[in-house]
Chains A and B, each alone.
Chain A
Amino acid sequence: LAKTTQPISMDSYEGQEVNITCSHNNIATNDYITWYQQFPSQGPRFIIQGYKTKVTNEVASLFIPADRKSSTLSLPRVSLSDTAVYYCHLDNYGQNFVFGPGTRLSVLP
Chain B
Amino acid sequence: EPEVTQTPSHQVTQMGQEVILRCVPISNHLYFYWYRQILGQKVEFLVSFYNNEISEKSEIFDDQFSVERPDGSNFTLKIRSTKLEDSAMYFCASSEAGGNNNYGYTFGSGTRLTVV
Interface residue ranges, A against B (CB under 8 Å)? 30, 32, 34, 36, 38, 41-46, 49, 87, 89, 91-95, 97-102
Contact = CB atoms under 8 A, between A and B. Distances in A.
B16 interface: no
Given A36-B105, A93-B100, A101-B42, 5 more contacts: A43-B107, A46-B104, A46-B106, A99-B35, A99-B43
Contacts of B45: 97-99
A100 B89 CA distance: 17
Nearest to A47: B104
Main secondary structure of the interface of A (DSSP, over half): loop
Given A43-B91, A87-B43, A102-B42, A97 B110 contact: no
A74 B79 CA distance: 40
Nearest to A91: B99
Contacts of B101: 49
Contacts, number: 74
21 contacts: A34-B99, A34-B104, A34-B105, A41-B89, A43-B4, A43-B91, A43-B110, A44-B105, A45-B107, A46-B104, A46-B106, A49-B104, A91-B100, A92-B100, A93-B97, A94-B31, A94-B50, A94-B97, A97-B58, A98-B58, A99-B35
Interface of B: 4, 31, 33, 35, 42-45, 48, 50, 55-56, 58, 89, 91, 93, 95, 97-110, 112
B12 to A, nearest CB: 16
What 8 pairs across the A-B complex have the smallest Cβ distances? A94-B98, A43-B107, A91-B99, A97-B45, A46-B104, A93-B98, A34-B104, A101-B42
B102 A49 contact: yes
Given A46-B105, A95-B56, A100 B42 contact: yes
Nearest to B31: A94
Contacts of B89: 41
Contact of B110 (A41, A94, A98): A41
A102 B40 CA distance: 12
Contact of B99 (A32, A42, A43, A100): A32
Nearest to A43: B107
Contacts of B109: 42-43
